[in-house]
């Protein structure tokens, strides 16, 4: 793949497809990690005299403008972090976008409105996507793909647009791919993978693939209760995907046959309701009361998981161990993150809720080997799926 070092960007309008899909509370950004991760590429282009046109999506609007998903607060925060004003276009590829991007001087930056306000961005119809990509192409002379969190999507700005402009990969995407290649090529061993989050069905493909590459799988979060039920344990009112029980039983059998250790919690924090104020306490993982739901791994499991990671040389973590947004159920995720910061292994936090938890719980991001900006993209890469946004840049 060509990098931005291979492009002559001075005086050119450079379309940067970034990932600025940050969480908002009204107009307040609660975690600006993805904006900060985009700064190096944008800054490099500015310093080289490019006229930088940044584009991104936010949330899941229904192909039409929705003020709740406007990127205007992101433009303000991006300007604060850059230390320079960021012009904002009130549409994505219309009159405002053409005027704002056409008025840029060398070294200036503009952000266009949410790409997903246009139905052509996410359309499954090739012609509709192509029409939108044609309009986006009018805004720039060059294209840089730097939104790793979107490269697993066959969207107009990710897949179709780079085919219309001279293009290169941005520094963020390049760094992400290099890290993931370490995990899928020849990782230093023992190689441990920690999977959490709510649903086992979200991670079927990656579990299937990891059974052939990882030495040890540690399972937590809501998805663990399908594993516990598959072993014949009572899980009370915990989250359960009954339709995946046979699949999970097959994984457990395959792991034993292939010598892959699957580590499950030995205790969980179970509550009477999905609430921070509900009565709760640690119970054995094989004895969850019928009227309680598991919302975190327990203290003995925290020690077990830390022990199982102590000798690892490579660790990939995707998904929190519990409902970390509620303080009583944040301790498992906190303990896991702490174990990784104290490890000598190459540690990769696989984006999404895991990365958000690291920041929300106050950990120093520099204490981890790599924090990904794309949870879904990371998982699909580890699953072995082709990533459309990478394929479009790889020529």
Give the active site residues: 34, 199, 352, 376
Instruction: Please give the structure tokens belonging to residue 199.
Output: 């649903």
Contact 287, 236 (CB under 8 A): no
Size (the chain), residues: 395
Query: In this structure, what are the phi and psi dihedrals at residue 371, rounded to the nearest 5 degrees?
Result: -115, 115
**For residue 352, is pLDDT > 90?**
no
**For residue 351, is pLDDT > 80?**
no
pLDDT of residue 383: 87
Confidence of residue 375 (pLDDT cuts 50, 70, 90): confident
* Mean pLDDT in residue range 197-213: 89
Q: What angle do CA 222, 152, 243 make, to 5 degrees?
A: 35
Q: pLDDT tens digit string along 72-103?
A: 999 999 999 999 999 999 999 999 999 999 99
HSE-CB of 67 using CA atoms within 13 angstroms: 2
**For residue 43, is pLDDT > 90?**
yes
pLDDT of residue 395: 74
Reduce the DSSP state of residue 257 to 3 states and report it.
helix
Reduce the DSSP state of residue 75 to 3 states and report it.
helix
Q: Is the dihedral of CA 339, 383, 35, 296 positive or negative?
A: negative
Q: Is 171 annotated as a binding residue?
A: no
pLDDT of residue 179: 92
**For residue 153, is pLDDT > 80?**
yes
Q: pLDDT tens digit string along 162-200?
A: 999 999 999 999 999 999 999 988 899 999 999 998 888
Contact 136, 165 (CB under 8 A): no
Confidence of residue 388 (pLDDT cuts 50, 70, 90): very high
How far apart, in whole angstroms, are the C-alpha atoms of residue 137 and residue 141? 8
- With a pLDDT cut of 70, the percent of the chain lying above it is 100
**For residue 310, is pLDDT > 90?**
yes
Confidence of residue 11 (pLDDT cuts 50, 70, 90): very high
pLDDT of residue 169: 97
pLDDT of residue 259: 95
pLDDT of residue 89: 98
Question: What is the residue-averaged pLDDT of the chain?
Answer: 95
Q: Is 294 annotated as a binding residue?
A: yes
Q: pLDDT tens digit string along 329-350?
A: 999 999 999 999 999 999 999 8
pLDDT of residue 278: 97
pLDDT of residue 66: 96
The helix or strand, by DSSP H or E, that contains position 225, with its residue range, turns out to be: helix 224-230
Q: Is 59 annotated as a binding residue?
A: yes
Q: Is 48 annotated as a binding residue?
A: no
DSSP-assigned letter for residue 54: E
Q: Is 385 annotated as a binding residue?
A: no
Q: pLDDT tens digit string along 96-133?
A: 999 999 999 999 999 999 999 999 999 999 999 999 99
pLDDT of residue 198: 87
Q: Is 153 annotated as a binding residue?
A: yes
């Amino acid at each position: 793949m060509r990098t931005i070092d291979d492009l002559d960007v001075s005086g050119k309008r450079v379309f940067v497809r970034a990932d600025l899909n940050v969480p908002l509370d009204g107009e307040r950004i609660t975690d600006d990690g993805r904006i900060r991760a985009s700064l190096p590429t944008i800054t490099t282009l500015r310093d080289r005299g490019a006229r930088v046109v940044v584009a991104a999506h936010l949330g899941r609007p229904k192909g039409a403008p929705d003020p709740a998903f406007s990127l205007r607060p992101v433009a303000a925060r991006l300007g604060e972090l850059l230390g320079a004003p960021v012009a904002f276009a009130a549409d994505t590829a219309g009159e405002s976008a053409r005027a704002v991007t056409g008025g840029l001087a060398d070294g200036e930056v503009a952000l266009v409105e949410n790409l997903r306000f246009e139905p052509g961005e996410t359309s499954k119809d090739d012609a509709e996507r192509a029409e939108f990509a044609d309009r986006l192409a009018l805004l720039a002379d060059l294209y840089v793909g730097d939104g790793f969190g979107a490269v697993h999507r066959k969207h107009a700005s990710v897949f179709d647009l780079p085919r219309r402009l001279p293009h290169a990969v941005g520094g963020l995407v390049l760094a992400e791919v290099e890290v993931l290649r370490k995990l899928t090529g020849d990782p230093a061993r023992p190689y441990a993978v920690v999977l959490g989050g709510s649903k086992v069905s979200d991670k079927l493909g990656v579990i299937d693939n990891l059974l052939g590459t990882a030495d040890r799988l540690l399972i937590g979060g809501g998805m663990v209760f399908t594993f516990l039920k598959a072993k014949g344990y009572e899980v009370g009112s915990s989250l359960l995907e009954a339709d995946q029980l046979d699949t999970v039983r097959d994984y457990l059998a395959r792991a034993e046959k292939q010598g892959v250790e699957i580590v499950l919690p030995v205790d969980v924090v179970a509550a009477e309701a999905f609430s921070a104020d509900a009565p709760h306490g640690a119970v054995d993982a094989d004895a969850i009361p019928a009227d309680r739901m598991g919302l975190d791994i327990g203290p003995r499991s925290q020690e077990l998981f830390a022990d199982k990671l102590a000798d690892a040389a490579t660790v990939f973590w995707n998904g929190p161990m519990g409902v970390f947004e509620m303080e009583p159920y944040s301790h498992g995720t906190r303990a896991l993150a702490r174990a990784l910061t104290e490890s000598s292994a190459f540690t990769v936090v696989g984006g999404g809720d895991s990365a958000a938890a690291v920041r929300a719980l106050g950990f120093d991001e520099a204490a981890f080997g790599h924090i990904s900006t794309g949870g879904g993209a990371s998982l699909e890469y580890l699953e072995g799926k082709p990533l459309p946004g990478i394929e479009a840049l790889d020529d």
